[in-house]
Amino acid sequence: MLPLAGNPLVAAIVAVAWTATAGVRVGGLRDAASSWHIPPSVPVLRGLRLLMDAGPKAPPSVKLAREALRANPRLGPVDALLLATDVVDAAAARGLPAGFLGATLLQESAFDPNAMSSAGAVGIAQFTLPTAAAEGIDPWDPHQAIAGSARLLGAYVHAYRNEEDDPYTLALAAYNAGPGAVAAYHGVPPYAETREYIDDVIDRWSRIVGR
């Protein structure tokens, strides 16, 4: 009997992969257990519909995972749920709405930890390497990047709480164009890209929370 070490995810993999004739697919189990990403060839929770069919009272992590799957068809349901759970935890740690943080990351990368932009931004949170270094994170590590994004957005929201404009809108402007641009224009800068970015994130946030 293979040791499960109390891990419910590994136990689920064993339960699905086991057949009366073939037994456990040890290679697939090993790869799944040793990596944050579940290889597509491993038949783990294939056809999982509870994420897509969850109703309006679903937990925030499920709602966010559902939007991630819609935004990124290459993302597996287990990956989506694991990343969404990280987002919910990171948002709570920084006093942010989970939908706000999740919508920002979806807009940045569609929850792709390997995303790269022509401007040199990388990872799920699309940090540039200098910004990642300043935040003390590895931008390619989705867990670190999510936590770093939550910390940065949380700091922006806190800094703009006493401004006339909505602090979340200003935080998004700072995340996209930089806090210097927000300061220079005393609000959202008149950049078409930044204004469109803010509108898109707010729209995603609304869909996540079901409004």
| Catalytic residue list | 108
Residues 34 and 27: beta-carbon distance below 8 Å: no
Number of neighbours of residue 172 by Cβ within 10 angstroms: 29
- 94 CB neighbour count, 10 Å cutoff: 17
Q: How far is it, in rounded angstroms, from Cα 35 to Cα 58?
A: 27
Burial class (CB in 10 A: 0-12, 13-18, 19+), 159: middle
Strand partners, 127: 122
Q: Give me the amino acid identity at 11.
A: A
CB 44 within 8 A of CB 12: yes
Do residues 75 and 68 lie in contact, with contact meaning Cβ atoms separated by under 8 Å? yes
Best CA proximity match to 128, nearest among 104, 156, 98, 148: 148
What Å distances lie between residue 91 and 85, 114, 150, 183, CA to CA? 10, 21, 6, 25
